[in-house]
Amino acid sequence: MNLPEAGALLAAECARYTELGWMRGTSGNLSVRLSDDPLRLAVTASGLDKGELTASDVVEIDATGAPVSEGALAPSAEAGLHGRIAAVSGAGAVVHVHVLAPVLAAERWPGGVELRDLEMLKGFGRAAHDDLVTIPVVRNSQDMQALGDAFEAGWRADTPALIVARHGLYVWGSDLRQARHRTECLEWLTRFIIEA
Amino acid sequence: MNLPEAGALLAAECARYTELGWMRGTSGNLSVRLSDDPLRLAVTASGLDKGELTASDVVEIDATGAPVSEGALAPSAEAGLHGRIAAVSGAGAVVHVHVLAPVLAAERWPGGVELRDLEMLKGFGRAAHDDLVTIPVVRNSQDMQALGDAFEAGWRADTPALIVARHGLYVWGSDLRQARHRTECLEWLTRFIIEA
Amino acid sequence: MNLPEAGALLAAECARYTELGWMRGTSGNLSVRLSDDPLRLAVTASGLDKGELTASDVVEIDATGAPVSEGALAPSAEAGLHGRIAAVSGAGAVVHVHVLAPVLAAERWPGGVELRDLEMLKGFGRAAHDDLVTIPVVRNSQDMQALGDAFEAGWRADTPALIVARHGLYVWGSDLRQARHRTECLEWLTRFIIEA
Amino acid sequence: MNLPEAGALLAAECARYTELGWMRGTSGNLSVRLSDDPLRLAVTASGLDKGELTASDVVEIDATGAPVSEGALAPSAEAGLHGRIAAVSGAGAVVHVHVLAPVLAAERWPGGVELRDLEMLKGFGRAAHDDLVTIPVVRNSQDMQALGDAFEAGWRADTPALIVARHGLYVWGSDLRQARHRTECLEWLTRFIIEA
């Protein structure tokens, strides 16, 4: 995938999340893998309205989140965590949205949000029975190195999500569609355990 | 109705439920009766985004949920329960959606969700007064035979719905429209008893 | 206004309420005044999907809710209450929707839902300060005469709404737009007092 | 910006807020700065459906909220507070919406709604850590002078919002887009603290 193709996909996905109310203000950012070696991602540019992105509102970054070339647009401030997640997990796409239910769940269960025996876990890539899924919760930080270390310390290959407390949700997958499906399932799951 | 006609109807209905947020991820599946003798259903294919189905994203199944002919698409994993419900109830259409309120209600009332003296029961096909309606709740399972047996054990001809605990809702009717109207009414009813 | 004009307006209004989720299933019905002497209303036909009405899905009724001429479509079962409300209040339009918040409020305050010192009361036609507004609550019934008598017993010219317990909301105004604005304000107000 | 340009922007913004359900009935009003010296604002006209505004549904006002020239349309009754906020804060745009969460928060914390250590505060123009943000709450009034005095008494240059108790929210920024982003962030923040 080249950068303009990635930009078009990212803009379309952002419009979907915006419609769901999960990218309020200019919050959230999405990335998709462009190449493996060296690792390159396309990430949404910083500070823009996510309901109005165009295919050019995208920046190519390396595994540290640094832009590969100089341009008018800055990558999202959280690009470093996107790079880290992609490098560690091998994900093809990373979604970061400010969706409320997971953040509420993390506030109630700051040591990790436990999900078990729920059908929607299948959509998240796990089993619907007898499979305890713990979504890691890390403290919020503006230091992407610190956030990335906390992510990596709690990372498990079978749990493609991370909640940053009092902030938002990261979910990843092989591509943007799988990441979205997992994000939608995790929102349902955390809404369920909050209301149940 | 032939399979392409059924596929077009199922895609349109799925888009409606997706818009309501009741088919998050790739969850949920719908079926419609193609013939009575032998019983044949058209069911949505497995694993697809329900907001993006086309008329060809459909599989013809028999009463056991098995595909009638080999094809590229697999029927929904829950096709067996669709077949069982259609066979037992005589329904022309079966809706399975992961809508939150009925699942929350089943979590609170695992022995069955009781509804009574509520006008919306008319839209579900029952009386608005002095008519106790109990929506059966069954334990979740990946075994469609087990789910089907549990459904049949609790089945009553006047109660066209089933909640699978920690999973989702099944509703059926003479056609997709009636099934949708009943689904919408049951969502309202369960949201009411949860919030009341 | 003639019947086709009224039908077009009613269909457009119903589509709006459907979009808000306030006419789930085939619930709810709207009417608009066609003439004063004798009183004639156009009311939405019974049993239809309110998101899909056309301008011809309408029936002309008299003050008792009886159809003025024989036709293929039956008026809403609640047409008699529409007629009674229009006759007693002088309203030009009556809205009946199954919106959740007022019904939840009536469940909590079955003797009447009290609202006071809230800015949104201005949009309902009352004062924002020092003006106690009590929305009458009546028991649900399938007998429009009984419902109409209960409405009339509690009717006050300055309170253009009625909640039918465990059923839904009636709001009226000079025209469909004013009735809608009042309905929207009352939904906000009842949601506020439930959540506050 | 001239008045027709401002009217077009205001109509488009109002349609967005209406879609979010934050301008129910005819509630809410928006303004944008036309000139600095003398201060002139374009404000939405009073009493209209905010989902149906056109570019001409706008009135030019001075810093007191008085219309600059006579016309068919009256400015919003709250134009005086728009003028006061613009004059005191230097804002280029002021948003007033009847969004529920901030009003619920003000009901719970009538002395001011405190927000701290939440990422979404960055979208509101503050820091995500160790920065206590207190959204002032003032009593509702129909007297724009009294409301304006209460606003000014509590005003801080770093806190571009005001909650009017049992009424609604004011948020301002350099332009309508920034004001909207801040409004969206504050809605998220107050929904979070209510549900947490």
For an interface test with C, the pick among D23, D27, D138 (most C C-beta atoms closer than 10 Å) comes out as D27
Answer left, alpha or beta for residue B117, where phi above 0 means left and psi between -120 and 50 means alpha.
left
Which residues in chain D are closer than 8 Å to C187, comparing Cβ atoms? Answer: 24
Amino acid at A88: V
pLDDT the model gives residue A70: 86
Share of chain C above pLDDT 90, in %: 96
CA distance A27 to chain D (A): 7
CA angle B143, A122, B33 (to 5 degrees): 55
Instruction: Please tell me the predicted confidence (pLDDT) of residue B72.
Output: 86
| DSSP E strand boundaries for D29-167 | 29-36, 39-44, 58-61, 93-97, 113-115, 133-135, 137-138, 161-164
pLDDT for the residue numbered C71:
86
Q: Do B192 and C167 touch (CB under 8 A)?
A: no
Three-state secondary structure readout of A74-113: CECCCHHHHHHHHHHHCCCEEEEECCHHHHHHHHHCCCCE
Mean pLDDT for all residues in chain D: 97
Q: What is the spatial distance between Cα B145 and Cα B165, in angstroms, rounded to a whole number?
A: 16
pLDDT at D72 over 90: no
Express each pLDDT in A37-65 by its tens digit: 999 999 999 999 999 999 999 999 999 99
Mean pLDDT of A136-152: 97
> Alpha helices, DSSP H only, in chain C?
3-20, 79-89, 100-108, 144-154, 176-195
> Does the pLDDT at position D139 exceed 90?
yes
Among residues A5, A189, A186, which one has the least CA distance to residue A97? A186
pLDDT tens-digit readout, C22-74: 999 999 999 999 999 999 999 999 999 999 999 999 999 999 999 998 888 99
To test the contact with chain C by mutation, choose from B119, B121, B174 the residue with the greatest count of C C-beta atoms within 10 A, namely B119
Q: Say whether C129 counts as a known binding-site residue.
A: no
- Asked if C120's CB is within 8 angstroms of D140's CB, the reply is no
What's the pLDDT tens digit per position in B63-86? 999 999 888 899 988 999 999 999
Q: What percent of chain A has pLDDT over 90?
A: 96
pLDDT, tens digit, 9 for 90 and up, residues B34-58: 999 999 999 999 999 999 999 999 9
Contact: chain B with chain D (3+ CB pairs below 8 Å):
no
Give the residue-averaged pLDDT of D93-97. Answer: 98
Q: State the nearest Cα–Cα gap between C1 and chain B, in angstroms.
A: 32
Tell me phi and psi for residue B97, to 5 degrees: -130, 150
Q: In this complex, which chains have at least 3 CB pairs below 8 Å with chain D?
A: A, C
| Mean pLDDT, rounded, for A13-17 | 98
* Of residues B20, B119, B123, nearest to C140 (C-beta): B119
Taking residues D61-87, what's their average pLDDT?
94
Residue in B25, B107, B194 closest to A123 by CB: B25
Nearest-by-Cβ selection for B188 from C24, C164, C194: C24
Count residue pairs from A and D with Cβ separation < 8 A.
Answer: 53
Chains touching B (at least 3 CB pairs under 8 A) are A, C
Residues 69-128 of C with CB under 8 A from B: 98, 100, 103-104, 107-108
**Res. D184 pLDDT band, cuts 50 70 90:** very high
What are residue A134's DSSP bridge partners? A114
Q: Is the pTM of this model over 0.80?
A: yes
C129/D142 Cβ within 8 A: yes
Which of D29, D166, D190 to substitute to test the interface with C, most C CBs within 10 Å?
D166
φ and ψ at residue D2, rounded to 5 degrees:
-95, 175
Partner residue opposite A25 with nearest CB, options D118, D123, D195: D123
Contacts C–D by Cβ distance under 8 A: 53
Quote ipTM for the complex: 0.97
**In this model, does residue D11 exceed pLDDT 90?**
yes
**Among D24, D49, D194, beta carbon nearest to C177:** D49
pLDDT digits (tens, 9 = 90+) for C105-139: 999 999 999 999 999 999 999 999 999 999 999 99
Question: D170, D98 in Cβ contact below 8 A?
Answer: no
The 10s digit of each residue's pLDDT in A62-99 is 999 999 988 889 998 899 999 999 999 999 999 999 99
> Is A167 part of the contact surface with chain D (CB cutoff 8 Å)?
yes
With contact defined as beta carbons under 8 Å apart, do B30 and B45 qualify?
no
Contact status of A168 with chain D (Cβ, < 8 Å): yes
Q: Cα–Cα–Cα angle for B74, B75, B77, nearest 5°?
A: 105
Q: Do B25 and A182 touch (CB under 8 A)?
A: yes
pLDDT given at position C104: 98
Helix axes C176-195, D100-108, angle to 10 degrees: 40
CATH of domain B3-195: 3.40.225.10
Q: Which positions in chain C touch D162 (Cβ < 8 Å)? A: none
Return the half-sphere exposure (C-beta side, CA atoms, 13 A cut-off) of residue D144: 14
C-alpha B55/C-alpha B40 separation (Å) is 17
Chain D residue whose CA is closest to A167:
D119
Listing DSSP states for B99-127 in one string gives -HHHHHHHHH-TT-EEE-S-GGGGTTTS-
Measured between beta carbons, which residues in chain D are less than 8 angstroms from residue A190? none
State the CB neighbour count (10 A cutoff) for residue B157.
8
pLDDT in tens, B148-183: 999 999 999 999 999 999 999 999 999 999 999 999
Q: How far apart are CA B54 and CA D146, in angstroms?
A: 59
Compute the Cα dihedral for D56, D61, D67, D68 and give only its sign: negative
Give CA separation, B147 vs A121, B132, D63, in Å: 18, 24, 69
